[in-house]
Chains A and B, each alone.
Chain A
Amino acid sequence: MAENTTQESQPAKPPKQKRIGADMIIPVAGLVFGAYYLHSIAGLPAMAQFNGRFLVALMVVLVIVLAFRMAWQLRRGEARFSFADLAETPQTAILRWGVLGLAVVFTLGIPYAGFTLSIFLFLTLSMFLLGVRPWTKMLTITVIASAIGYLLFIVALGARLPRGPVENFLAGIFG
């Protein structure tokens, strides 16, 4: 499984039949967004609508061409309908969506726990989930990474990041 993950990551050897189906997600999402866009600009001055109308029309044309191409490929048996592009083993799925879930929790929690504590917890839990072992190695990495984050963002750059218990404690010590 050492396949590159380049921009257009496709299976290493193209199967005899192209898989189509999953690649309709983006165009369909685009059309839904386009419809919402048109809805949201209804009633605005013509000039404010111009760009949106033009782009949505262009998108519809392109998606129709894509749909025709797909239908053509299906008919000639060059492709089959499948969502396999997005398929993943349950294990990878747990890891991937688990990390993403943790990232959501991190985002929601950062205003309350402050930057340093949140990033430490996020890194530790994610690496735990991903199976970074032994414990000591994992904790060393997460503690160092959080400390670098603290020193770089809060101390050196003075970024406007949420402060929490760790920042207040350290500020208490160093003034």
Chain B
Amino acid sequence: MTLELLVEIFLGAASYWWLILIATTVGIIIGAIPGFGAQNTIIMLLPFTLAVPVEMALTFMVAIYVASHMGSGIPAILLNIPGTGGAAATTIDGYPMAQKGMAQQALVLTFVASTLGGFITSFITIFTIGYLAQIAFYLHSVEMVVIMLFGITLIAVIAAKDPLKGLISGVIGLLIGAIGADHIYSAPRATFGFLELYEGMPIIPALIGLFAISEALVMLENRSMLSAEGRERMLKAGWRETGEGIRMALKRWTHITWTSVIGLVVGAVPGAGASIGAFVAYQQSRLYSKTPEAYGTGHPEGIIAPEAANNGVASGSLIPLLVLAVPGGTTAAVMLVVLSYHGVPLGPRLFVEDPGLAYGVFATMVLSYLIMMVTILPMSRYLSRVTLVGTTILAPIIIGFTLVGAFSPRAYIFDMGVALSFGVLGYIMRKTGYHVVAMLIGIILGPLLEANFMRALRLSGGEYSVFFGSNIGNVLWLMLLASILFPIYSNWRRKREREARG
């Protein structure tokens, strides 16, 4: 990376500032609607991206993509409905904070963590893309199994009030995640006779049911989703709260940095997604926190970690596409169609023949985050007022529109039925003390874990020793073990200190 090239890519990206402004606005909106996302929007806008020059098409797609990650945190905080799986972890602390009447601060935390995390990781990527691309050569099925286990250990700790019930929810979630064709023989399992479940439980409808619909059903018990003092606080809120949110976030800039780097590393692995990055970052954040018990009650770090991480994933996930010409996710797969239509040589050749285009992607990201910082932060004040709307109006709107979101990805009415079923399930869970996030972690990570596990076994010809056969894998196992033992140790030490003090 020469200084000349650096200036060139930033000037190039800056010349499209107006397009970035439009695209990030669109991206935030679609990211905030559950069921919609960058992928279907880019498919729908294909006529545009195929018609315009490739730099413009790429700028547009990249800006929409990163903005959608940011938008998905908005409903997670305001309504306990993650716009995508990547924001599911954000609900854990975001919604409790909103209920306290601090929706504005929570939104600002999301926005600052997302933009700063995305900004830092896309900047890092410009200088280290060659090394980051190497990650894909070292993290294979075995290593991914361990990385996903980091996220899955969250199941055990997330339901702090009753870990046993949390584990039961998580295991049921993992079993629901194991519905559908198995990953080796494509043999259908537990599909209840529905062809629509053959490819597995559709995640978006399940997420909408567990979070949105069950939340709406519970919501009806009260006139407002806010507590009494929360409502009072919300009514008085003004610009000062935005400032407070910014201070809360900036004070934790180191936290934003390292959790976003977790996202970047996970994102650079083809096939790993924003949800894995966000769950792993939340788990790590809680693990090394001095106040792990505060997580789940509206703790700022609990919002920052998953949001910084899912934007870090966004920076990382385009690396396999550009460097290896293999899209790491569904959105990248659509981008591949557009880039190959325009005749862009992807893979190592791209960096020789058109480095400006390759690095320009990340310059666009950097600028997108800068622009979003300016456009979205002032909106927090107004967006947060959604929490003041009465539940008799909010609940029908949530149910109606999220059902449409459940329908959208596959256009199956069946999926609306899935969402309703999960809505009832989620309602019973909430009422009887079972953790819906624990179940969702199982549903999202379960199939990925199983796929990698089965693949590793098949690669080794059925030898279980394969899971301990790689150095990187073994280091990860040790880290996993440490992250399970560490909380036990620190609990024990705190207890002893307390006893010593008398």
Contact = CB atoms under 8 A, between A and B. Distances in A.
A159 B221 CA distance: 33
Given A5-B99, A48-B184, A126-B400, 7 more contacts: A1-B223, A7-B96, A69-B164, A100-B424, A103-B213, A126-B395, A145-B400
Interface string A136-175: 0000010001000100110001111100000000000000
A93 to B, nearest CB: 10
A71 B138 CA distance: 49
Interface string B1-25: 0000000000000000000000000
Contact of B168 (A44, A66, A152): A66
Interface residues of B, number: 88
A55 B396 contact: no
Given A7-B435, A8-B159, A62 B184 contact: no
A123 to B, nearest CB: 5
Contact of B218 (A2, A9, A37, A127): A9
B167 to A, nearest CB: 5
Interface string A62-92: 1101100100000000000000011010001
Given A107-B413, A122-B396, A26 B167 contact: no
B432 to A, nearest CB: 4
Contacts of A95: 220
Interface string A39-51: 0110011011011
Interface string A15-33: 0000000110111011001
B246 to A, nearest CB: 26
A107 B301 CA distance: 39
Contacts of B454: 47, 50-51
B298 to A, nearest CB: 9
Given A4-B99, A107-B420, A123-B396, A65 B185 contact: no
B76 interface: no
A117 interface: no
A47 B226 CA distance: 49
Interface stretch (B187-195, B262-270, B332-340, B351-359): B187-195
- The 9 A-B residue pairs whose C-beta atoms are closest, nearest first, are A126-B396, A48-B182, A130-B392, A23-B432, A30-B172, A160-B411, A107-B416, A2-B228, A40-B190
B154 interface: no
B392 A119 contact: no
Interface stretch (B61-69, B341-349, B362-370, B401-409): B401-409
A41 B190 contact: yes
A157 B187 contact: no
B457 interface: yes
Given A9-B431, A115-B404, A126-B399, A63 B189 contact: no
A63 B165 CA distance: 9
B134 interface: no
Contacts of A51: 178, 450, 453-454
5 contacts: A2-B231, A52-B189, A95-B220, A96-B217, A126-B395
B113 interface: no
Given A4-B227, A62-B167, A40 B189 contact: yes
A6 B175 CA distance: 25
A99 interface: yes
Contact of B171 (A41, A55, A100): A55
A56 interface: yes
B325 interface: no
Given A8-B433, A34-B175, A40-B191, A99 B396 contact: yes
Given A7-B296, A26-B434, A47-B457, A37 B175 contact: yes
A36 B190 contact: yes
B424 to A, nearest CB: 7
A159 B403 CA distance: 13
B172 A33 contact: yes
Interface in B29-77: 29-30, 33, 36, 40-41, 44
Contacts of A56: 175
Interface in B425-462: 425, 428-437, 450, 453-454, 457-458
B215 interface: yes
A48 B221 contact: no
B397 A59 contact: no
A47 B172 contact: no
Contacts of B215: 5
A103 B399 contact: yes
B222 interface: yes
A119 B167 contact: no
B171 A161 contact: no
A98 B406 CA distance: 21
A45 B167 contact: no
B2 to A, nearest CB: 41
A45 B184 contact: yes
Contacts of B117: none
B417 interface: yes
Nearest to B35: A159
A16 to B, nearest CB: 17
A152 B168 CA distance: 40
A41 B184 CA distance: 14
Contact of B435 (A8, A69, A141, A158): A8
B190 A66 contact: no
Nearest to B171: A59
B219 interface: yes
Most chain A CB inside 10 Å of its own CB: which residue of B176, B219, B404, B437? B404
B428 A66 contact: no
Given A5-B218, A23-B434, A26-B168, A149 B404 contact: yes
B432 A86 contact: yes
Contacts of A41: 187, 189-190
Nearest to B43: A158
A132 B393 contact: yes
Interface in B162-181: 162, 164-165, 167-169, 171-172, 174-176, 178-179
Contact of A92 (B192, B221, B223, B434): B221
B383 to A, nearest CB: 15
Nearest to A118: B400
A22 B396 contact: no
